[in-house]
Structure 1
Amino acid sequence: MQLVSGFLGGLVAFAATVAMLVLLAATARRVMGAPVGWVRAGVVSFAGLTAASAALTAGMRAAGWARADGTPTVEPWVALVAVALVFAWAFVLGLCVLLVLELLVPTGSLPSPWRAARGLRQGRRETRRYAQVVAIGVRHGLGGAFRGGARRADGSRLSRAETDRFALGLRDTLSDAGVTFVKFGQTLSTRRDLLPPAITDALATLQDDVPPAPWAQVEPAVVAALGRPVDEVFARFDPEPIASASVGQVHGARLLDGREVVVKVQRPGAREQVEVDLAILGRLARRLERDTAWGRAWGVVALADGFAASLREELDYTAEAENTFALRAALDVRTDDDGASQGPLVVVPDVVAGPSGRTLLVLERLDGVPAGRAATLLASSSAGDRAELAERLVRATLEQVLVAGTFHADLHPGNVLVMPGGRLGLLDMGSVGRLGEPERIALGALLMAVDGDDAVAATDALLELLEPPRGLDVRSLERAIGQLVLRLRSGAGTEAAFAALLRTVHDAGVAVPPQVAAAFRSFAALEGTARLLSPGFDLVAAARDQSRPLLSRLVTVDGLRRKATQQLLGFAPELERLPRRVTRIVGDLEQGRFTVTVRALADSDDRAFLTGLVQQVVMTLIAVAALVAAVVLLTSEGPVVGEGLRLYPLLGAGLAFVGTVLVVRVLVFAFRGPGRR
């Protein structure tokens, strides 16, 4: 019975302690006025509770207010006051500790204990991989690149030989680091607006040739993605892949209804490996931007973040399926200049929606050869037929960009299929760009300005298309754009001209939105593919000839009338009230009753800011007054209200408690700001 009674007593004491800790932690969070973490609030409350208990016991014994066994020798209310004061000040000291912790290590900046324990294994894996990548870079002569060296982004402090060695070392490092880093290098090779030509030329030679995973590893991934055995969906599934890439591979198959399809399946473990490599890439980018001048000039953190977002989207095949649907809708239905319906200029495979998912994509199989490997097939065609193929690809691209607003953003030769019968197909819709109507109109105006050799109009169109900064030197930009327009009209390489255009606007401080940059890169890649289809093909001349009818479809009289009608419908209620309002204003002016009322702080955010500021000023004044009064009272004696206890010091201790709590709240506001309360 005694054992049970002791157990129940201990259980009650434990529950009371937990309840007190929760109450103290909740009160601390409330008094602080900041989102303090429950874990740190609980730990600080427990430490304060323990310290207060020990201090109270020792202090009461030293003052003679308690015997050795802990029983008080003073009046109960005096002991109660002493207990309240000790625990109140322990609470205040706990608030100060929490304030310091919030300033040094804000809540949320460190993972929670359970998240830290869960991520410990992942952290060890990332650390080993990070050390491996850095060692590869050092082996290829990039040891100085990881330090705060004196290189600038344009390489002006390096000799040509040193720049070439750096470019080759970077290429070899990315090549040896694995497929994720290879793809990052390939992405960097398209950023000729940011990186020196020596770097982009070297990175353009990177190849992500990856041996295919064996069928024994791929089959479980296919079954898991389908949720059932392969033979319940496919009549035939070829174990040997048609193509292999870094994160997936493509197999031929036949559905149960007899349709020939291709199946793109994600490699087993690809997502996990990519996430580890992206974490390493982010760490390297942050280190380089922090420690090196060239890293800051290139904006490597932004480059790495953009690449990570793109690669994560590539890992989700539902996004590619949506892109395929959008491109197919944009290209399947089109009309000629007379409004008659025509077939698609290029073919986009249909998506088999049933078995497709995040890690598996089933597409209609197109019979053809990628343009990069179609030399034999093209050799049997006449020069006129080959030129017609190139013109068809250019027109299809212009229709996507200018009319539909949804376009294939990666038109390299491997993604353009040459099909029997003089047809073209598009593959790999993982990279698709989208432009709204204002951007399409501005891009069309730019093409018309280039056609008309009008540098001023081209500059105006670019400023509408891009994001100019304040204080831009428009005249200098006009002169630079004029030279680029001449290069484009003279038949200079489109890729080099677009790279020079992007570099010019970047040097002028003009920001290029990602989707606009994607359209420019699509045009630049289009030139190389078009010249594979038809050697010597003049992309600028073809775009100039074929863009005119498309631009006339983009801005038509009917379209302008329809847009004006829509806007007028929106204004109709206001237009109906306009005569009455004008009459009222004229009458008020005649009779001298016309007044203008301006409401100060009409915006709710402004009112909230001012209210919070006034509250903090009042709180600060009250805190200062309380602390000053507390000092005065603590140094006064006053009447005795109990054994060894005087009234004024007792009131001073209470006021000091209130003032200190208010000071903590004021400091929280000062250091965290009103928007983070």
Structure 2
Amino acid sequence: MQEISGFLTGLVGVVATVVMLGLLAATSRRVMGAPVGWVRAAVVSFLTLSAASGALTYGLASNGWVTDAGDLTVHPAVALAAVVLTFAWAYVLGLCVLLVLELLVPTGAVPGPWRAFQGLRQGRRESRRYAQILAIGARHGLGGTLRRGARDADGVRMSRTDERRLAAGLRDTLGDAGVTFVKFGQVLSTRRDLLSPTVADALASLQSEVPPAPWADVEAAVVAALGRPIEEVFDEFSPEPLASASVGQVHVARLPGGREVVVKVQRPGARDQVEVDLAILRRLARRLERDTAWGRTLGVVGLAEGFADMLHEELDYRREAENTIALRATLEPPAPGATAPVVVPDVDLDLSGPTLLVMDRLAGEPVGRAETVLARFDAGRRAELAGSLLAVALRQVLVAGTFHADLHPGNVLVSADGTIGLLDMGAVGRLGEPERLGIAALLLAIDGDDAVAATDALLELLEPPGGLDARRLERSVGQLLLRFRSGAAVDASFAALFRLVTDAGCAVPANVAAAFRTFTSLEGTLRRISPGFDLIAGAREATRPLVEEYTTFGAVRRKVTQQLVGLAPEVERFPRRVTRLVTDLEQGRFTVQVRAFADPSDRAFVTSLVQQVVATFVASSAVVAAVLLMVAEGGPQLGDGVALFPVLGALLGFAGTVLGVRVLVFAFRGLPAR
């Protein structure tokens, strides 16, 4: 019986302790006013509760307020005051500990036990991969580039030899690092606004140097995507890849009925490897931006995040199928009996899926290795081919608003009959009407050598920083237009323009940046098709008919009609409002009402500010009053020589300190943004 009674007593004690800990943790989270983690709140509450219990027991015994048998030798009110004050100040101590912990290690900065357990295996894999990437970089001579302070902003520029060595080492490192890093190199090769021509040219060779995956792995991936054997779907399926890219590879096949198609299949294990590599890429980017001046200049963290978003989209081939259909819709139908100068393959949606894309096979060779095909055409015909491709790209950007965002030489085919084919619609940009009109105005201003209009168009397209010197930017644009007109910038016209605005500190919206990069990569493709092709002159010929579509009488009438339809209700109410306004003026009833702080964010800002000021005043007043009470002499007694004023002062100090902790939490977290 005694054992049962002892067990019940212990169980009640445990339950009471757990309930007390829960209440302490909950109230501490409430008082802090911050999302403090439950685990740390419970641990701190347990430690402070244990410390308070030990201190109370020791204090009562050392002062002789309790006997060895547990009997009180003082007035019960005195013992109660001692218990309350001890636990109250222990609670304050716990709040201070939580405040320091939140400042040093905010909740969520360190994963909890369950998250840590789940991420242990992934973390080990990432660490091994991270060490492997660093070893590859060191093997190719990039070890010094990763050092803290590498290429600091001391005005010393890298020599041409060192730049070529860095470009070759970076290319070889990305090539050996695997799928994701090869793709990252491909993306970087188009960013001539950020990279030097030497580095960009070296990375461009990664476009077609990806080894294919073994056929057995590819076959298993195709069967898994189709849900049935290959023989049931295709009459023929070539095990030799037609092309091999970083995320997928393309095989030639034939459907029943004789239709030739290409099958783009995602590399086996590519998704899992990409996730690990993206984590490594973000880790390397943070290190480079933290430790190197050139990393901060390039903004490698932003580049890595943008690349990660793009790659996640490319891993889902359903998105590419949608993009391909959208780009087919942007092409103008050819004249009766004529052949379309530029074509986009048709997609078989029934056979396509997240990891498999089946579409018509286009004849021809990629521009990057189509020298033999292009050599059959004379200079005039090659210029005509380049002009057709430019016209389609401009129509996509200026009229349709949906455009191919990666027109590098590997994604453009040239056939023996002069037909241009577009491939790899994984990267597609989209522009709204204001952006399309802004780019059209920019192209017309460049054509007209109008620096003022070009600068205005750029400022409409971009997000200029505060304090931008518009006159200086206008002069820089004028000098660049002179280079365009003289042909001095013929090798990098759009890249030079992009670099100009980024050097001026202008933020480029993602969709506008995609359009700029399209023209930058397209520029190199056009000059491979037709050496010496004048992009500015070609854009002049192709842009004017497109812009005229916005300025014809019918287009203007449609635009005005749309605006009037939206304004019709307001126009209908306008006479009645004017009449009421005139009547109020005649009768002296005209008044103007101004509502201060009508915006909810303004009210929230002022309310929070007032609350913090009031809380600070009350907390400081309570602490000052507590000190005065604690040093006051005389006054009523609780009993056994214990004065009431010091006890009240300790309680008031407790309240003031708790309120002060909450004020500090709000101060460190900051006021709500306006």
Query: TM-score, structure 2 length as denominator?
Result: 0.90
| Equivalent position of 1:497 in the other structure | 493
Report the Cα offset of residue 358 of structure 1: 2.8
One of 621, 625, 631 as aligned partner of 1:625: 621
Q: Partner residue of 2:303?
A: 303
Partners of 1:309 and 1:395 in 2: CA distance: 29
The answer on whether the counterparts of 1:495 and 1:525 sit within 8 Å (CA) in structure 2 is no
- Identify the range of structure 1 (172-181 vs 288-297) with the bigger mean alpha-carbon deviation: 172-181
Q: Deviations over 1:238-285 (max 9, x none)?
A: 433322222222233445676543332222222232233222222222
Of residues 366, 371, 386 in structure 2, which corresponds to 1:390? 386
**Deviation (angstroms), 1:74:** 5.0
> 1:51 and 1:354, CA in 2 relative to 1: closer, same or farther beyond 3 A?
farther
User: 2:186 aligns to what?
Assistant: 186
1:455 counterpart residue number: 451
Deviation track 1:450-490 (CA, whole Å, cap 9, x = no partner) reads 33333332332222223333443334433433343344345
Deviations 1:368-389 (A, max 9, x none): 4333344444455566654443
Structure 2 SS opposite 1:662: helix
Alignment-derived partner of residue 170 in structure 1 = 170
Alignment of 1:556 onto 2:552: yes
The equivalent of 1:31 in structure 2 is: 31
Query: In the TM superposition, what is the alpha-carbon distance from 1:405 to its structure 2 partner?
Result: 0.9
- Give the Cα–Cα distance (whole angstroms) in 1 for the partners of residues 5 and 240 of structure 2: 74
Question: Partner of 2:395 in structure 1?
Answer: 399
- Kindly state the Cα deviation for residue 670 of structure 1 after the two structures are TM-superposed: 1.1
- Aligned partner of 1:521 in structure 2 is 517
Match of 1:435 in 2: 431
- Cα offsets for 1:163-185 (capped at 9, x unmatched): 44444443444344344333333
Distance 1:153 1:423 in 2: 49
Query: Does the 8 Å CA contact 1:236/1:253 hold for their aligned counterparts?
Result: yes
Structure 1, 508-517 or 41-50: larger mean CA deviation: 508-517
Q: Give runs of aligned pairs for residues 35-50 of structure 1, distance below 5 A.
A: 35-50=35-50
Shift in Å, 1:416: 1.6
Structure 1 residue aligned with 2:650: 653
Letter in 1 for 2:330: A
Query: 1:673 is aligned with what amino acid?
Result: G
1:210 corresponds to:
210
Measure how far apart 1:221 and its partner are: 3.2
Change (3 A) 1:62 1:139: same
> Contact (CA 8 Å) 1:182, 1:208: kept in 2 or not?
no
Question: What is the correspondence of 1:322-341 to structure 2 with a 5 Å cutoff?
Answer: 322-331=322-331
RMSD: 3.1
CA contact (8 A) 2:182 2:246 kept: no
The residue matched to 2:301 in structure 1 has which SS? helix
Shift of 1:72: 4.5
| CA deviation map 1:612-659 (0-9, x unaligned) | 222222222222222222223323453333455442233222212211
The one-letter amino acid paired with 1:559 is A
- 238-247 vs 482-491, which moves further: 482-491
Aligned to 2:508: 512
Q: Distance in 1 between matches of 2:347 and 2:210?
A: 26
2:421 corresponds to? 425
Higher deviation after alignment, 545-554 or 258-267: 258-267
Matched-pair contact (CA < 8 Å) for 2:401–2:431: yes
The whole-number CA distance in structure 1 between the counterparts of 2:157 and 2:535 is 37
The 8 Å contact of residues 355 and 362 in structure 1, kept in 2 or not, is answered as yes
In structure 2, the CA distance between the partners of 1:159 and 1:249, relative to structure 1 (3 Å rule), is closer
Pairwise CA distance, 1:675: 2.6
2:327 and 2:267 map into 1 onto residues whose CA distance is 26
Aligned residue type for 1:353: L
Q: Which amino acid aligns with 1:638?
A: G
Per-residue Cα deviation, 1:330-376 (whole angstroms, up to 9, x for no partner): 22x5588xxx9998542222333344333332323334433334444
CA contact (8 A) 1:155 1:196 kept: no
What SS does the corresponding residue of 1:664 show, helix, strand or coil? Answer: helix
1:413 to 409, 416, 433: 409
Question: Could you tell me which amino acid in structure 2 is paired with residue 396 of structure 1?
Answer: V
- Residues of 2 paired with 1:564 and 1:302: CA distance? 41
- Equivalent-residue separation in structure 2 for 1:405 and 1:482 (angstroms): 28
**Unpaired segments ≥5 residues, structure 1:** none
Asked if structure 2 preserves the Cα contact closer than 8 Å seen for 1:449 and 1:458, the reply is yes
Separation in 1 of the partners of 2:341 and 2:161? 47
Q: Is the 8 A contact 1:234 1:256 kept in 2?
A: yes
- Cα distance in 2 between the residues matched to 1:656 and 1:279: 49
Identity %: 69
* Cα pair 2:190 2:520 within 8 Å, conserved: no
For 2:242 and 2:140, locate their aligned partners in 1 and report how far apart those are by CA, in whole Å: 34
Residue aligning to 2:668: 671
Any stretches of 5+ residues in structure 2 without a counterpart?
none
Deviations 1:513-540 (A, max 9, x none): 3322322332233343334444554443
Q: Is the 8 A contact 2:340 2:419 kept in 1?
A: no
Contact 2:604 2:672 in 1 (8 A): no
Where do residues 40-119 of structure 1 align in structure 2 (5 Å cutoff)? 40-68=40-68, 70=70, 72-73=72-73, 78-119=78-119
- Aligned match of 2:316: 316
Helix, strand or coil for the counterpart of 2:191? coil
Is 2:161 the counterpart of 1:161?
yes
Q: Which amino acid aligns with 2:526?
A: A
Whole-Å separation in 1 of the counterparts to 2:59 and 2:245? 74
Looking at structure 2, the residues matched to 330 and 141 of structure 1 have their Cα atoms a distance apart, in angstroms, of 46
Letter in 2 for 1:90: A
Q: Which moved more, 1:625-634 or 1:637-646?
A: 637-646
Give CA-to-partner distance per residue, 1:22-53, whole Å, 9 cap, x none.
Answer: 21111111111111111111111111122222
Q: Which amino acid aligns with 2:197?
A: P
Candidates 564, 570, 590, aligned match of 1:568 = 564
Deviation of 1:95 after TM superposition, in Å, equals 0.8
Name the CA distance, whole Å, in 2 between partners of 1:492 and 1:24. Answer: 74
Matched, 1:445 2:418: no
Q: 1:554 is aligned with what amino acid?
A: Y
Contact 2:207 2:245 in 1 (8 A): no
Residue aligning to 1:662: 659
Check conservation: 2:285, 2:304, Cα contact below 8 A.
yes
Deviates more, 1:502-511 or 1:468-477: 468-477
Distance 1:502 1:7, change over 3 A: same
The aligned counterpart of 2:367 is: 371
Match in the other structure for 1:251: 251
Match of 2:598 in 1: 602
Q: What CA distance in whole angstroms lies between the structure 2 residues aligned with 1:158 and 1:46?
A: 59
> 1:251·1:264 contact (CA, 8 Å) conserved in 2?
yes
Separation in structure 2 between the aligned mates of residue 667 and residue 556 of structure 1, nearest angstrom = 64
Shift of the 152–195 alpha-carbon distance from structure 1 to 2, 3 Å rule, reads farther
Distance 1:39 1:495, change over 3 A: farther
